[in-house]
Structure 1
Amino acid sequence: MRCPLLLLLLGPLYTVIQAQQIYVKETLTGIIDQEAILPCTISSDPNIRVSQIMWEKGGNSIAVYSPQHGTHVSEPNRYQLLEPSPSSATLRILSLRAAEEGDYSCEVTLFPAGNRKATTKLAVIAVPQNSAEANSEALANGEEQTVATCRSSNGRPPSRITWQTSLPGNVTTIMTNGTNGTYTVVSRYVMTPTSQADGMPITCNIDHESAAVPIPLRLSVMYPPEVTVEGYDDNWHLKRNGVFLTCSAKGNPHPTSYTWKTADGSSLPPTVRAKDNMLYVDEVDERVNRSFLCEVTNALGSRAYRQDVLVREHAMQTQTNAGAIAGGVIGVILVLLLLAAIVFIVIKRKGLHSKQDRGTYSPKTRVFGTGKPSQEFTYQDDGELDKPLKGPGPMRDSGLSPSLGEDEDEEERLKYKVLEDDEEDERFNEVGPMLQLRPHPQIGAYLDDDMESQTDGSIISRTAVYV
C-alpha cells in the first residue's frame, strides 16, 4: 500500500521534473583565432532549484557556476562564463584552436530532480588564403611543364582544388600540414605547351567549407615568331602600280624587328620600298620577278617567311564576284526552265495517252431480242457525243413512207431522202445524243422488221435498250 501511495504523492513532482529542459545548440562552427559562444539555458520552475551548472569537454571541467559558491573557470585566459545565473550559463572561448574542436556538454544539477545534460558539437575551421598564377616561363619546346599553379594555404579542413580548361594535361596535388592544425594544398596543371596554348583560359576552382572560390587565369607560353606574308594575288603584271606585301607575325615575347630581304641575297629592286612590316612596289617590272623574305625577331630567335613573286606580261582575266553571282543566277534560272518544260511534256503525254485509252475502247457485240437475227452495236467514244448523230445508212421501207415503185423517177427518191434526214435531225435535237444502233452490214434487213412507228411521228426499236 505504501508504494502506490508514494507514487501518488510524487506524481505531480515527477511531471514537473520531466518538463524541466536544457537548451543548447546541437552544432556550432567556429573559426580559428576567433571567439566562439556556446549558450546554455534552463527552463525556470518555482518547484525546481538549480544547484550547479557545469561545462565540460572530454570529461574535464572547464567552467562551473553555483548560486551558493559562485563561478570557477579552469583557464581564465581562454574561457569565460557570460553573466551566469540559475537559468543561464553561456560559455565563451576567447581564441579558438584546432585542438578545441569536439563535444561540449552543459550539465545542470537540479534539486530534487538530479542532473540533466545537453551537448554542443563544435567544429573548428580555418579560412584558407587562396592564390593562383600562370607560369610565365613556360616554353613551347616539346617538353612537359607546369603551366599554372593554384595554392590554398592554412585552411581547415583542407581545400579541394579542381581545374577547368579545354587544354589536355595532367594535375599534380600536394597537401602539407600547417600550423595550429591547418593544411596547405598546392595543385599544378602540367602539359606540353604549344604556341596555340598561349593566352588560352584556364580556371582554378577552390572548394572549402568557408566558401567556393574560382580563380580564372590566362596561360602564358613563350615561343619564337610565327611569320606569314599576305598581299600577293598571283596577278602581278608589268606596269601594275600600288601593290604591296604585308608581313604578319606573332610570338611571345612580341616581335621586336622586321627585315625584308631577297632570297638570293641581292639588294631590293629600286622600285621596291621596305618599311617595318610592309613591302611597297611602286611599279612592277622584270626586277620584281624574284623571291622575297620577311625575317622577324623576338627574344627567343628569328623566323622568316618566303614569298615567291611571278611577274606576268599581261594581266590575268579574272571573273569578278558580281559576274560570278550573275552567272550562277542565270544558270539556276535555266535549270528551272528546263525542269518546267520536262514536267509540262510529261503531263501532256499522260493526258494524250489517257484520251487515247478512252477512244480505243474495244467494241463488244450485244444481241437484243429472241428468235430474230442478231444486231451488232458499236460503243462510241464520249468525245464524239457532241457530233450530230448520223443514220447507219439507207433504211429500207418500213411502211411509214410512201411506196416507190421501180418506175418512179430518181427525183422523187432524192426528195424523200431529204425529208427523212430532216426528221432524223429534229429527233436528235429533242432527245439529245444517245446510244446509236449501228446495223451490221450483213443483217441490214433486221432494222425494217424491228422498227415501230409512234403517234408523235417518231420511230423506235422494239428490242433496243435506250440510255
Structure 2
Amino acid sequence: MYRLCSVLLLLCPVLQAQEINVNEKVTGTLGQQITLPCTFNNNGVDMQVTQIMWMKDSTNLATYSPQFGIHVQNKNDFNLTASPSSATLLIKLLRASDEGNYICEVTTFPGGNRRGITYLSVKAEPRNSAEALPVIAGDIEVPVAKCASANGRPPSQITWRSTLPGNFDTTMNNNTDGTYTVVSNYKLVPTWTADKQEVICIISYDSKESVIPITLSIQYSPIVTIEGYDNNWYLKRLGASLTCNAHGNPQPTVYTWKTADGSPLPNTVKAKDNVLYVDEVDERVNTTIVCEVTNALGSRASQQEVLVRERALENQTNNAGAIAGGVIGGVLVLLLLAAVIFILIRRGGVHKKERGSYNPKPRIFGSGKPSQEFTYQDDSEMGKPLKASGPLRDSGLSPSLAEEEEDESEERMKYNVLEDDDEEEKFNEVGPMLQLRPHHDPYLDDDMESQTDGSIISRTAVYV
C-alpha cells in the first residue's frame, strides 16, 4: 500500500503535464474532404509516446505506433499522417453519416492514456429554385407558384410574402444521402387580375436568406373594350374611328369586326387589326358594331351602338375644367342674387315700418276745459306736424289772463319746436296719436310709457 501511494504521488505531476490538442468542433461540406488534427504536448516532462489512435463510436479508424508504424482500417475513406507526437486523420469524401464525435487517444509511458474529442458537423449547401405554375383562371384555389430548396443539410426554411390573398403549404423529404429537400407551394384563387402580379419566396439556410421574386402566370380569355365613339357621329363626318382594346394570356392574336345583326360593314368602313376606320359617316353606320378577339383559350367580344345624327352637336365639349367652371360660376350668381333679394326685402321692411300702415278717420276729442279741435292727417300729410282743424274759440278770459296766456303760448311754441322731432319719431313708431292734454300739462312726462319692443306710447292717447 505504501508503495502504491508513492507511485501515484510520482505520477500526478506527470499526468498534469500531459496535454492533447484537438479542435472541439469542425464543419465539413458533403462530398468534400476534411482533416482532424491531434497533437500531444508533454510540456517538457520526459515521457515516451507509444501509440496514437483515432476512433469514432468506439470503432478504430487509424493507428500510429513509433514501433509498428501507421495502420488504417478503411483506406478508401480514411488516411493518417503521423509524427512521434501527432497524428492527423483525413476523411476523403464526407458523407452525412460521417457526422459525429471523433476521439484521439494518446498512450504514453509512464503517463498512460489521454483523450481529446472533436465533433464533426457535415453540411450540404442546398440548391434553391422558384417558378410560376401557369394555371387557367377559375374559382377554385390552386398552386400558382413553387419554391424548392433541394439536397440541403440541415433543411431550409421557406416562407412567402405577397399582397395577394393566398396561403402556402410546405413539405420536406429525407434523401438517401442524408440531405433534405423542402418544397413550398403558394396557392390562391386564380383570377385574371392576378396575372403578372408578383409573389416573393424567402429561403432561409444557415442564417442566410435567399429572396426570389416570382411573376405569376394566370391564363384567361381576352378582356375586350371599344373606344372612340364620342356620341357625335353625324352625316358626312370624316375620319371617325373605333379602337378595340383587348388583353389576355396568351396574347390575343385575331381581331374580327362585324355588325350585331350580321349585315356586312359599309364600304366606307375599313378594319385593320384592332382599329375600325370610317372614311365618311353615313346612315349605314347607324348600327351596333361588334369587335371579337381570340386567343389560345377562346374568344370574347364587345359591342358599341353607333347613333348617326343629321348634324353635329353644337357647343359640345368634354372639357371637365370648363364644366366645373360653369357650375362654380352658376353657384356664385345664385348667391349674388340671393344677397340682392335679401337686401331689397330688408329695405322694404324698414321703409314700411317708417311709413306705418294706418288709415285714420278724422275725430274730434274735447273736455269741459277750453280746447282745440284736432284731426288725423291723411297718409299724404304724414310728414307734417299735427294742427288744429279750425280757429280757436273765445275762451271768455279777461284781458290780463289773456296776456298771461299769450306769454305762456310763446313759451309753449318754443317748447313745441323741440318736441316736434320727438313727436314725429313717436308718430312713426306707434302710428297716429291724439293727445288728450295740451303740451303745457305738467303731467306730460308721466303720461308716456315704454313698451317691450322699444316704442313709447301715451297712457291717455287713443290709438286707431
The TM-score bracket by the shorter chain reads 0.5 to 0.7
Partner of 1:201: 198
Partner of 2:295: 298
Root-mean-square deviation over aligned CA pairs: 3.3
Q: CA 1:27/1:311 → structure 2, altered by over 3 Å: closer, same or farther?
A: same
CA distance, structure 2, for counterparts of residue 154 and residue 224 of structure 1: 40
**Structure 2 letter corresponding to 1:190:** K
CA distance, structure 2, for counterparts of residue 58 and residue 31 of structure 1: 21
CA distance, structure 1, for counterparts of residue 59 and residue 306 of structure 2: 93
Q: CA 1:201/1:253 → structure 2, altered by over 3 Å: closer, same or farther?
A: same
Cα displacement (A) at 1:70: 1.7
Cα displacement (A) at 1:122: 0.9
Partner of 1:182: 179
Partner of 1:38: 36
Q: CA 1:8/1:42 → structure 2, altered by over 3 Å: closer, same or farther?
A: closer
Q: CA 1:40/1:328 → structure 2, altered by over 3 Å: closer, same or farther?
A: farther
Partner of 1:131: 129
CA distance, structure 1, for counterparts of residue 98 and residue 145 of structure 2: 36
CA distance, structure 1, for counterparts of residue 79 and residue 334 of structure 2: 97
Q: Residue 224 of structure 1: which of 215, 221, 235 is its match? A: 221
Cα displacement (A) at 1:227: 0.4
CA contact (8 A) 2:126 2:153 kept: yes
Q: CA 1:104/1:333 → structure 2, altered by over 3 Å: closer, same or farther?
A: farther
Does 170-179 or 53-62 show the bigger shift?
A: 170-179
CA contact (8 A) 2:141 2:190 kept: yes
SS of the residue 1:181 aligns to: coil
Determine whether 1:55 maps to 2:54. Answer: yes
Cα displacement (A) at 1:131: 2.5
Deviations 1:270-319 (A, max 9, x none): 33221110011223333322211100011111100011222333324234
CA distance, structure 1, for counterparts of residue 262 and residue 55 of structure 2: 92
Cα displacement (A) at 1:211: 5.5
Cα displacement (A) at 1:255: 0.8
CA distance, structure 1, for counterparts of residue 70 and residue 332 of structure 2: 104
Partner of 1:29: 27
Partner of 1:79: 78
Partner of 1:443: none
Q: CA 1:335/1:43 → structure 2, altered by over 3 Å: closer, same or farther?
A: farther
Partner of 2:306: 309
Map 1:432-443; keep pairs closer than 5 Å.
Answer: none
Partner of 2:154: 157
Q: Residue 99 of structure 2: which of 98, 101, 110 is its match? A: 101
CA contact (8 A) 1:235 1:316 kept: no
Determine whether 1:92 maps to 2:90. Answer: yes
CA contact (8 A) 2:159 2:202 kept: yes
CA distance, structure 1, for counterparts of residue 12 and residue 164 of structure 2: 72
CA distance, structure 2, for counterparts of residue 336 and residue 56 of structure 1: 102
SS of the residue 1:99 aligns to: helix
Q: Residue 236 of structure 1: which of 229, 233, 238 is its match? A: 233
Deviations 1:86-145 (A, max 9, x none): 332111101112211111111222333332222111112223333222223x11132332
CA contact (8 A) 1:239 1:285 kept: yes
SS of the residue 1:179 aligns to: coil
Q: Number of matched residues?
A: 335
Partner of 1:454: none
Deviations 1:45-70 (A, max 9, x none): 33242232221111122112222332
Deviations 1:346-379 (A, max 9, x none): xxxxxxxxxxxxxxxxxxxxxxxxxxxxxxxxxx
CA distance, structure 2, for counterparts of residue 51 and residue 185 of structure 1: 50
CA distance, structure 1, for counterparts of residue 335 and residue 120 of structure 2: 83
CA distance, structure 2, for counterparts of residue 78 and residue 221 of structure 1: 52
- The percent identity for this pair of structures is 55
Q: CA 1:19/1:229 → structure 2, altered by over 3 Å: closer, same or farther?
A: farther
**Structure 2 letter corresponding to 1:298:** N
Partner of 1:248: 245
CA distance, structure 2, for counterparts of residue 330 and residue 163 of structure 1: 55
**Structure 1 letter corresponding to 2:185:** R
CA distance, structure 1, for counterparts of residue 154 and residue 216 of structure 2: 30
SS of the residue 2:193 aligns to: helix
Cα displacement (A) at 1:239: 3.3
Q: Residue 210 of structure 2: which of 213, 216, 226 is its match? A: 213
Partner of 1:379: none
Does 223-232 or 175-184 show the bigger shift?
A: 175-184
Partner of 1:112: 110
CA contact (8 A) 2:238 2:278 kept: yes
The runs of 5 or more residues in structure 1 that have no matched partner are: 339-467
CA distance, structure 1, for counterparts of residue 84 and residue 292 of structure 2: 90
Deviations 1:138-165 (A, max 9, x none): 1113233222222333322223222232
**Structure 1 letter corresponding to 2:206:** E
Deviations 1:321-341 (A, max 9, x none): 564576689799999999xxx
CA distance, structure 2, for counterparts of residue 206 and residue 324 of structure 1: 56
Q: CA 1:21/1:327 → structure 2, altered by over 3 Å: closer, same or farther?
A: farther
CA contact (8 A) 1:48 1:110 kept: no
Partner of 1:277: 274
Map 1:340-419; keep pairs closer than 5 Å.
Answer: none
